[in-house]
Chain A
Amino acid sequence: MKCLVAVHEHMVDVAVVGAGQTKYGNHALGLKGMWAEAASKAFASVDGDFDPASVEEAFIGSLAFGGSQLGNTAALLTEHSGMDGVAVRRVENACASSGFAFRDAWMAIKSGQADVVVAGGIEKMNDLTPERKRYWLGVSGDTEWERLAGLTFPGTYALMARRYFHEFDSTHDDLVHVSVKNHLHGSMNADAHIQKEVSFEKAAGGFMVADPLTLYDCCPTSDGASCVVLAADHVAHKFTDTPVWVKGAGAASDNLALHDRPSITQLKATQVASAKAYGMAGLDARQIDVAEVHDCFTIAEVLATEDLGFAQRGEGGRFAREGEGRINEGTTTVNSSGGLKSKGHPLGATGTGQVVEVFKQLRGQVEAGRQVRDAETALTHNVGGSGATCSVHVFGRDR
């Protein structure tokens, strides 16, 4: 018991003191250029003096989809951001790669092994020919069973959507509401891939990708990079007077294949990860002002609002229908950035890209019209594949 008390007394708190990203989309820059841009923006966002050489550890999430550097990607990238020689590694957990990179960075500080750590993510997806790109579709599902059954992720999430409509009072119209909302939010985000509103009628009538999901239910294929600077409590004041504190962190995994899970209309990994994060933060879902949730497909946002506790089980469709996630309209604003649907989804960059958004939201630094009023608390939710991995973080202006 004495030992446990001693450990607790030395446990440090972790703050985000800088965050930046490239615009997501069809990017002219390659891997090195995009990372350099995201890192320089993150370093420049630090209010005080910041020397990249002071970074002790770096964790960079990526699937290494494109960009021509499959092995040792992270070492190549840090060469181009003034962090030469830093202890760095690539973190791979599919679309949750940088959510877990952020978690690893948080743990590095929490454990007392480092004071200043960088977490980031990157993906180059649009430099491949269509045929080569097709090889990468669905690589993070269960290759042996799901891929051989013809599934890529639009198909897997379509299976969830149809089952959800069968089990609950919900139709495809509810997914259209998610799409319309996220396009509205993204239209105001200068870093978003698709900065365009979409009408309900247009979103409802999109090209059928995987029945019942249409083009407007699916996130775009985006290039992008994001970067976040974390610091221990005893050094954070050197960098800023307005840090964003990591109040809770949770992560979990589940069966890789959708069909191996007892329920396909909820993500157990999200439920477990968020319960841990809320518990550590001492908060519940109703106290979260802004949430960046993993809406790779619109049905994923509906399920996430339930699994994260913003809506009751079976009520995610109604939550979307009634516009509860719109900026400043409900208790919790969902995907103020436009989410993966509109901001874009450069796989490995998405998790820390979500942190960039909540860092700015909690410091009142997003574009006019997109700022969540009096935002004090925030949450990020990053999912790998169809729910095999998930990391959730809770943030606050207060320590």
Chain B
Amino acid sequence: MSDEVWMGYLLHHEPSYTVVQSPFVLNGQRVFGADSDATTLAVAALLHRLEHDNVSAISVPEGIDASSLSAATGVALHDGDAEEEPPWEVLMSDEAIVVVSQRGATVEIPVFDIEVEVDVEFHAALEAAWGQELSENHVSQGAYVSRAQYDEAAASRLQLHGQANEQGVVWPPRFSHVVDGHSASGMRLQRCGKVMTWTTLSAAGAPSEFSLRAPVLGGVSTVLLALDDGPNGVFLMVDDEESIIEMDARMELVFRRLYAQEGFVRYGLKARAIHD
């Protein structure tokens, strides 16, 4: 058993289960950070679990975006029509706590000392903004990533699936499966890189997808990272912790909410500073 900070969350590992909690607290209750939800906590827990166990299939409760969880981890979802329950399941609580457990294991929720008190008004404003975004009537009138387009790129967006051959590594993949004139095979890139450049865009200049939350957050920050495996990529910084961004600083990529539209959340990888 061990406790650690994992992808920005508090994690407790036992042989038969993993508990992930939000570090944020409001009125004594664990609450989600600005761009976290039960799905992001479940993905973090499952990715940690995958470092220790072979989780081939898992069942998830309502309230977790099962297809995004599967796309982000590569773990198959339980087929509801199957006779046998899968050996692993995701459990949720009323607070911002998620457990990935072997079915039937006795789970004890640990008490962590780390508690980051959130500002009541800030938290309420963000919750209200997410609520508005999640409305099915919240639609785009301009550039737009449809559900089909989101799903098509899910493996490269959420698991960093790329392509490689002797000429180098390309991410996101090209549909021609050709890199610099040579055919390439798939690979999964590491989730780390260093800062090549960054910016913080004012709320007024942010894309409409972020127009409800950007004023609350004070703008949106984006980094261009040189990933450890070679390719570059642009990523939002995580919203739920403050970071000082510097050239060449090491960053890791974690699973978070990007925005919501037409009633479903688009998830993606966001950058957070690696603190040695």
Contacts from A to B (Cβ < 8 Å): 131-132, 134-139, 143-152, 154-155, 158-160, 162-163, 166, 207-213, 257-260, 264
Check if A158 sits within 8 Å of B201, measured CB to CB: yes
Q: Is B224 in contact with chain A by the CB < 8 A criterion?
A: yes
Of B141, B198, B211, B268, the contact of A162 (CB 8 Å cutoff) = B198
Chain A residues whose C-beta falls within 8 Å of the C-beta of B153 in the assembled complex: 144
| Chain B 197-214 interface residues, beta-carbon cutoff 8 Å to A | 197-202, 204-211
In contact, B201 and A154 (Cβ under 8 angstroms): yes
Q: How far is the CA of A139 from the CA of B144 in the complex (A)?
A: 9
10 tightest CB-CB pairs across the interface, nearest first?
A135-B142, A158-B199, A150-B220, A163-B197, A149-B234, A259-B232, A139-B143, A155-B201, A134-B208, A143-B143
Please tell me which one of the listed residues B140, B149, B222 contacts residue A135 in the complex, with CB atoms under 8 A apart.
B140
Known contacts A134-B206, A162-B197, A209-B202; 8 additional CB pairs below 8 A are A137-B142, A145-B172, A148-B209, A152-B206, A159-B199, A208-B202, A209-B204, A258-B234
Hey, which bits of chain B sit against chain A, CB under 8 A? 140-145, 149, 153, 172, 196-202, 204-211, 220-222, 224, 231-236, 247, 258-259, 266, 268
CB–CB B144/A134 < 8 A: no
Most A CB contacts (10 A, CB to CB) among B143, B196, B210, B258 go to B143
| Chain B residue with the shortest CB-CB distance to A265 | B197
Interface centre among B153, B197, B259, by most chain A C-beta atoms within 10 angstroms, is B197
Contact flag A149-B235 (CB < 8 Å), given A144-B153, A210-B199: yes
Contact B142 A162 (CB under 8 A): no
Chain A's closest residue to B221 (CB) is A150
Contacts A154-B201, A155-B201, A159-B199 given; indicate if A134 touches B232 (C-beta within 8 A): no
Given that A145-B172, A147-B143, A148-B145 are known contacts, is A211 also in contact with B199, CB under 8 Å in the complex? yes
A150 touches B222 (CB 8 A): yes
Cβ contacts under 8 Å, A208 to chain B: 202
* A132-B201 in contact (CB<8A): no
Q: What number of residue pairs across chains A and B have CB atoms under 8 A from each other? A: 115
Pair B210/A150 contact, Cβ less than 8 Å: yes
Could you tell me if B142 and A264 are in contact, using CB atoms closer than 8 angstroms?
A: no
Residues of A within 8 A of B221 (CB): 150
The residue on A at minimum CB distance from B247 is: A166
Q: Is the CB of B196 within 8 A of A264?
A: yes
**C-alpha spacing A160/B232, complex, angstroms:** 14
For the complex formed, measure the closest distance between the CB of B147 and the CB atoms of chain A, giving whole angstroms. Answer: 13
Q: A150-B210, A150-B222 are in contact. Are A210 and B142 (CB under 8 A)?
A: no
Within the complex, the shortest CB–CB distance from B240 to chain A, in Å, comes to 15
Q: Say how far A141's CB is from chain B's closest CB, in angstroms.
A: 8
| 5 A-B residue pairings within 8 Å (CB atoms) | A144-B145, A147-B209, A159-B198, A208-B202, A212-B199
A137: min CB distance to chain B, Å:
6
* Inter-chain contacts of A264 with B (CB < 8 A): 196-197, 224
Given the known inter-chain contacts A135-B143, A144-B145, please indicate yes or no for A210 contacting B200, CB distance below 8 A: yes
A139, B142: Cβ atoms under 8 Å?
yes
On whether the beta carbons of A210 and B201 are closer than 8 Å, the reply is: yes
A137, B207: Cβ atoms closer than 8 Å: yes
Q: Which A residues lie within 8 Å of B233 (CB)?
A: 145, 259
Give the docked Cα–Cα distance between A260 and B226 (Å): 11
Q: How far is the CA of A258 from the CA of B139 in the complex (A)?
A: 27
Cβ contact within 8 Å between B201 and A150: yes
Partner of A132, one of B141, B143, B149: B141
State A245–B4 Cα separation when bound (angstroms): 70
A162-B198, A210-B200, A258-B234 given as contacts; is B207 within 8 A of A150 (CB)? yes
Q: Which residues of A contact B247 (CB under 8 A)?
A: 166
Chain A residues with CB under 8 Å of B207's CB are 134, 137-138, 147, 150-152
Q: State whether B202 touches A159 (Cβ < 8 A).
A: no
Q: Closest residue of chain A to B206, judged by CB?
A: A150
Contacting residues, chain A, for B197 (C-beta < 8 A): 159-160, 162-163, 166, 264
- How far does the Cβ of A331 sit from chain B's closest Cβ, in whole Å? 31
Closest Cβ–Cβ distance, residue A397 to chain B (whole Å): 42
Please indicate which of the listed interface residues B142, B202, B236 has the most CB atoms of chain A within 10 Å of its own CB: B142
Residues A152 and B201 in contact, CB atoms below 8 Å apart? yes
Q: State the CA gap A213–B140 with chains docked (Å).
A: 27
Neighbouring A residues of B266 by C-beta, 8 Å: 148
Bound complex: CA A239 to CA B145 (Å): 49
What is the minimal beta-carbon distance from A212 to any residue of chain B, in angstroms?
A: 8
Closest to A160 in B: B197
Q: Say whether A155 contacts B143, CB under 8 Å.
A: no
Give the residues in chain A near B196, CB-CB below 8 Å.
163, 264
Judge whether A209 and B205 touch: CB under 8 Å.
Answer: yes
CA distance A138 to B208 in the complex (A): 10
Complex-state Cα separation, A134 to B268, whole angstroms: 22
The reply to whether B234 and A137 form a contact with Cβ atoms under 8 Å apart is: no
* Inter-chain contact A159/B222, CB cutoff 8 Å: yes
A137 touches B258 (CB 8 A): no
The complex places the Cα of A249 from the Cα of B156 at a distance, in Å, of 38
A137 touching B205 by the CB < 8 A rule? Answer: yes
**CA of A279 to CA of B110 in the docked complex: distance in angstroms?**
71
Most buried by A among B140, B198, B210, B224: B224
B201 touches A135 (CB 8 A): no
CB pair B268–A131 under 8 Å, yes or no, is no
Contact A135 B208 (CB under 8 A): yes
A150-B198 in contact (CB<8A)? no
Q: Which of A145, A148, A152, A166 contacts B205 (CB 8 A)?
A: A152
